[in-house]
Amino acid sequence: MRITVVTGTGTGVGKTVATAALAVRSGPGVVVVKPVQTGVLGDEPGDAEEVRRLAGCEVLELVRLADPLAPETAARRAGVSLPTVAEHAARIRSLDSDHVIVEGAGGLLVRLDLSGGTLLDLAAELAADVVIVVDAGLGTLNHTELTVAALRARGIEPAGLVIGAWPSSPGLAEECNLLDLPRVTAVPLLATIPEDVAGHGPDTFAEAVPGWFSPAGPSQAAAGSTS
């Protein structure tokens, strides 16, 4: 089984859309897992359901918490327990799939359980490939380098970076970051996803995905998104 963990440099950088794009690119049989979903009530659709809508793949949400907070904080406020990182890992390994993509919550060091276990711990436990979804704008170099450094400190070499929401009218910072992100991190830029594609239907989304991972290079894909 191949396992890919998708993390972000923070909240709101486009992890869910990037996860759906990676699922489309993986092809039939991929399963996407959201270990902990926060900020949803009852049957309200969460990130996993959005991935299902965009990518048409099988998804699995393991835990749901109402407060829009980090999982550990939301669980403590609700007075409920959370599965440990080891329990999450065992559940993921039990899936009948050649490729499982795990979408984290927030950033790499956000706590997933009540014992201090993080997404970084889960990635290490699973010996997973790790893809980092990053912002396009000012501040992203620092946030990205910190995330890469945390992974390397655990002996995990990131598989690549994905810019999660490339603006339709990029400024100087975005254009420079497109080149600087792989330069300063020594991690390849795998894809550049245009902003606002979450509103696409599944067919349109699937048709667009290969262009975001263009063999011509991320800068060409980004340039195409502005035309």
Q: Which residues are catalytic?
A: 34
For residue 190, CA distances in Å to 57, 157, 164 come to: 21, 14, 11
Helix extents (H) in the chain: 15-26, 47-55, 71-78, 85-93, 119-126, 140-153, 172-185, 202-212, 218-225
The whole-angstrom separation of Cα 223 and Cα 78 is 46
**Residues 33 and 59: beta-carbon distance below 8 Å:** yes
**Residues 109 and 102: beta-carbon distance below 8 Å:** no
Element holding 38 (H helix, E strand) = strand 31-38
With tokens 């327990």, the residue in question is 81
Strand partners, 160: 131
The whole-angstrom separation of Cα 75 and Cα 73 is 5
86 Cβ partners below 8 Å, 6+ apart?
117, 125
In the three-class reduction of DSSP (H, G, I as helix; E, B as strand; rest coil), residue 166 is classed as strand
Nearest to 164 by CA among 2, 8, 5: 8
